[in-house]
Amino acid sequence: MSQELTKRNYSPLIIILTVAIISLVSIAYFSPRLEIFKGYDLSILPLINAILNSITFIALAFALMAIKRKNIKLHKRLIFTALTSTALFLVTYLTYHFNAPSTKYGGTGILKGIYLFILLTHIVLAIVIVPLALISVGRGLNMQVEKHRKIARWTMPLWLYVSLTGVLVYIMISPYYK
């Protein structure tokens, strides 16, 4: 059986996951609190989110180094580590935001401007990175090396930025959590 025949079409899964993730995050942010975990202290979840974003960043940085050294096996493992920590982040992020009110940044002046810039770029690029990461992984799994490289050139720096700025947003807003 040829390589071409064994390739999988991940497009429907990518579309479904992208729409589902963006919809769930939007609903969690804009809907009234569900308070499913009423009575439970969820205040640790933003810190866990920052830790998971840190793991994603570190895994991606090492995945980039691995692929530059042509270590495909290690690159794949590190990308799956980044995907796993991102998926766990998504679960804890949704759990927190479905159950807790949004925290407002309390700083002023230039720091507030910096915070808002980082937050805005983080949010916009987090939306963009969902399909990019999924397409990159799908192409990598199918060993569509040239197509994978073309999209990964955009995906990797954006995913690194989103994971790093997720940590920065947490650091900047953490004094204002109740």
Q: Where do the domains of the chain lie?
A: 40-176
Segment 29-71, tens digit of pLDDT = 888 877 778 788 899 999 999 999 999 999 999 999 999 999 9
% of the chain at pLDDT higher than 90: 78
Average pLDDT over residues 152-158: 97
User: What predicted TM-score, i.e. pTM, was given to this entire model?
Assistant: 0.90
Segment 146-172 shows an average pLDDT of 97
Q: Are 169 and 120 in contact (CB under 8 A)?
A: no
How far is residue 122 from each of residues 36, 68, 77, 164, measured CA to CA in Å?
27, 26, 25, 9
- CATH number attached to the domain at 40-176: 1.20.120.80
Q: What is the DSSP string of 129-174?
A: HHHHHHHHHHHHHTT-HHHHHHHHHHHHHHHHHHHHHHHHHHHHHG
